[in-house]
Structure 1
Amino acid sequence: MDVTQEHDELQLRFPVTPQDQQQSAYAFARLSSGGALNGCVGAVDGGLCQVQVPRRNEVKRVTSFSSCHYHCYGINVQAGVDHHCRFTAVSSKCPGGMGDALAYEKWNLSAVADNFPMGLYLVGDNAYSNSNKFLTPFTKPKTKTPSHDSFNFHLSQLRIRVEMAFGLLVNKWRVFKQPLKVRMKNVKKVVYPSQLVH
């Protein structure tokens, strides 16, 4: 699995040039009814990769890997996908007890998105902070008008791509259906290659 991380041609490719970002935005706009949302460069979400309870000599704080939401130990895996549900970026460096918004801020993709040209953005769910560079849906109490409801509908047409990608990944690589039985230093060596070839 180390081989996939050593060869440039086997790396995930997030659109970093303005031309690639515009091409990605065009492809996502075709998924949005009537092209209503036409600046999306990628869809982002976090998933919990379950692991065995980390050893004290492997991590600074064992409890930080405990997810209260899922009642298990894990790694917070942040991922970005394109319009074909292909992974384009991944980060598996944050513990499972960390929320998606903070894990995203610690990921270098957040800095890339902050420098998008005007009108380009990522999309995600309400676990993230809404901004001009990262669009999230209106929450139920704030969905008061038909335009808010319409925005949420069109946004979901784009966000679903990352949900589908995680679903395809877990169903193809059944190893993710249970806690990984590898040392913490090797989790990335399992997660990254599986996203390359899912």
Structure 2
Amino acid sequence: MRFRPSLLSLLAVFKERKGNLLKISPVLSVSAAAEVLYHGIKDAARVLRRYKKKGLKTDSNTPPPIPNGRISTSVRLACALRYFAGGSPYDIMSVYGVSHTIILDSVWCVVEATNQVADFYIEYPKSCFEQKKIAKGFEEKSDVGFSNCAGCVDGLLIWTHKPTEKDAEMSGVGQKKFLCGRKSKFGLNCQAISDVRGRILDISIVYGGASSDCLAFEGSDIFQKLELGLLHDDLVLFGDNAYLNSKFMVTPYPNVSSGSKDDFNFFHSQLRIRVECAFGMLVGRWGLLRAAIPQNISLTRTIALVHALAKLHNFCIDMHDKMHSKEPASGDIPERLQEDEDYMVTHSPEGYITMTTTDVSGVSLPSGLMDCGHHSDDMPRALRRTRSILNDIEESCPTSQPRELLHLQVIESQLTRPHENQINHK
């Protein structure tokens, strides 16, 4: 049976066990939950009627009758969320009294349904108002008052097992294209843009783990839109030195350790770290990403899975912001169940990623999956020469690129890198 998850189902972000009873942690107030329940039942009934009209098979007309009764939508969603969080399917079986097959079926029903909900769709906003709203959020966090940052971009390795020859053939590349040499892991290069809260504004997974961040980003749909003038009023994205500095992308100055350019790099990283926080929250919330995606999951399904997790990640942040102040969203990630942590440690043949590196915002980062595309091995020599020429032009014409304008802003503010950061700066 296919179903669309109602907001009621999404109230169960994580479960808490107490004896033999299951307690679903609510995300909304009681009154709000009652309203969601009412509308959720109406939505579910309407969707079910529509499916029946189309002649699709549902549980109600599937012979023979289910011995232990129907499995409710909320139970299916709870099973899927626990699985996404890194839980063992066998532990989930014992908690909910369902079979291993039902759990995996529920996972893919939730993935499919989440990716079909229009309200969850991830697309970088086109309107000037929405883009400036994003920039305003970054400006409030910038000590020097950078007001034109409309998002931060970075890459994350989606760890997988070595893809099958069939999967690699369907992708049009060899198996080696999925091997990230920097991390010695097979996987996919995920490019994402986040806002200051860690919400994912755009996500692209079209290259293997061997590709550089620059190539993966320039092969995405958002890059083509940026080239055509997606950003309004001189707004830009912030990225690290894995990307090319341009009219819509501001990167740090390379190979500097002192002076005003180093000061600029500090204030630049003060905002750029927000996308790293987004990855920390994403992987911290969905522990499934801390280990290699199970081998029986194809690359196509892996991409669909990550897109669904990103959408649910945004949903959790939105719900947190509606209920609490817009301060660190790391507080809305419940503590992981010990049995789930133990399962990841003991049942991940290739190991798992520890969340040990903590940034200034208090969000633990999956450093073992980050910086995977910080190389230029797959960049054509012509592109490298073009990059060098553009840097020379920028040096000779200070107002030709946004980076130089922001550099001048730092100089005029007379602000410098804090001393303690200067000491620890590499």
In the TM superposition, residue 144 of structure 1 has moved relative to its aligned partner by 5.9
Matched, 1:55 2:164: yes
In 2: Cα distance, 1:102 partner to 1:73 partner: 17
In 1: Cα distance, 2:280 partner to 2:264 partner: 24
SS in 2 for 1:125: coil
In the TM superposition, residue 29 of structure 1 has moved relative to its aligned partner by 1.1
In 1: Cα distance, 2:121 partner to 2:271 partner: 24
Aligned partner of 1:175 in structure 2 is: 288
Aligned partner of 1:193 in structure 2 is: 308
Structure possessing the higher relative contact order (Cα contacts under 8 Å, 6 or more residues apart): 1
- 5+ long unaligned stretches in structure 1: none
> Residues 140-179 of structure 1: matches in 2 within 5 Å?
141=255, 143=256, 146-179=259-292
In 2: Cα distance, 1:97 partner to 1:132 partner: 27
> Residues 38-49 of structure 1: matches in 2 within 5 Å?
38-49=147-158
Aligned partner of 1:25 in structure 2 is: 135
In 1: Cα distance, 2:131 partner to 2:226 partner: 10
| TM-score for both structures, normalised by structure 2 | 0.44
User: Residue 144 of structure 2 contacts residue 267 of structure 2 at CA under 8 Å; is this kept in 1?
Assistant: no
Bigger Cα displacement from structure 2, 12-21 vs 38-47: 12-21
Q: Percent identity?
A: 30
Among 234, 245, 258, the residue aligned to 1:130: 245
One-letter amino acid of the counterpart of residue 186, structure 1: R
In the TM superposition, residue 18 of structure 1 has moved relative to its aligned partner by 1.4
In the TM superposition, residue 24 of structure 1 has moved relative to its aligned partner by 1.2
One-letter amino acid of the counterpart of residue 166, structure 2: N
In the TM superposition, residue 69 of structure 1 has moved relative to its aligned partner by 0.6
In 1: Cα distance, 2:273 partner to 2:156 partner: 14
Larger Rg: 2
> Residues 113-124 of structure 1: matches in 2 within 5 Å?
113-114=226-227, 115=229, 116-124=231-239
User: Residue 181 of structure 2 contacts residue 210 of structure 2 at CA under 8 Å; is this kept in 1?
Assistant: yes
User: Residue 163 of structure 2 contacts residue 175 of structure 2 at CA under 8 Å; is this kept in 1?
Assistant: yes
Aligned partner of 1:89 in structure 2 is: 202
In 1: Cα distance, 2:144 partner to 2:217 partner: 30
In 2: Cα distance, 1:179 partner to 1:103 partner: 21
- 5+ long unaligned stretches in structure 2: 1-110, 314-426
Aligned partner of 1:3 in structure 2 is: 113
Among 197, 204, 216, the residue aligned to 1:103: 216
Among 71, 75, 86, the residue aligned to 2:184: 71
1:161-195, Cα deviation, whole Å (9 max, x unpaired): 10001011111111111110111110112111111
In 1: Cα distance, 2:149 partner to 2:223 partner: 14
Distance 1:119 1:173, change over 3 A: same
| TM-score for both structures, normalised by structure 1 | 0.93
The alignment's C-alpha RMSD in Å is 1.3
Query: How many residues are aligned here?
Result: 195
Aligned partner of 1:16 in structure 2 is: 126
1:114-150, Cα deviation, whole Å (9 max, x unpaired): 31234211011111111121111112x2x26522112
Aligned partner of 2:324 in structure 1 is: none
In the TM superposition, residue 7 of structure 1 has moved relative to its aligned partner by 2.0
User: Residue 15 of structure 1 contacts residue 24 of structure 1 at CA under 8 Å; is this kept in 2?
Assistant: no
Bigger Cα displacement from structure 2, 178-187 vs 109-118: 109-118
User: Residue 15 of structure 1 contacts residue 41 of structure 1 at CA under 8 Å; is this kept in 2?
Assistant: no
In 2: Cα distance, 1:159 partner to 1:113 partner: 18
User: Residue 81 of structure 1 contacts residue 89 of structure 1 at CA under 8 Å; is this kept in 2?
Assistant: yes
Structure (1/2) with the larger helix percentage = 2
In 1: Cα distance, 2:299 partner to 2:195 partner: 28
In the TM superposition, residue 107 of structure 1 has moved relative to its aligned partner by 0.6
In 2: Cα distance, 1:71 partner to 1:184 partner: 18
Bigger Cα displacement from structure 2, 53-62 vs 110-119: 110-119
User: Residue 125 of structure 2 contacts residue 131 of structure 2 at CA under 8 Å; is this kept in 1?
Assistant: yes
SS in 2 for 1:33: coil
In the TM superposition, residue 98 of structure 1 has moved relative to its aligned partner by 0.5
User: Residue 16 of structure 1 contacts residue 112 of structure 1 at CA under 8 Å; is this kept in 2?
Assistant: no
In 2: Cα distance, 1:111 partner to 1:40 partner: 19
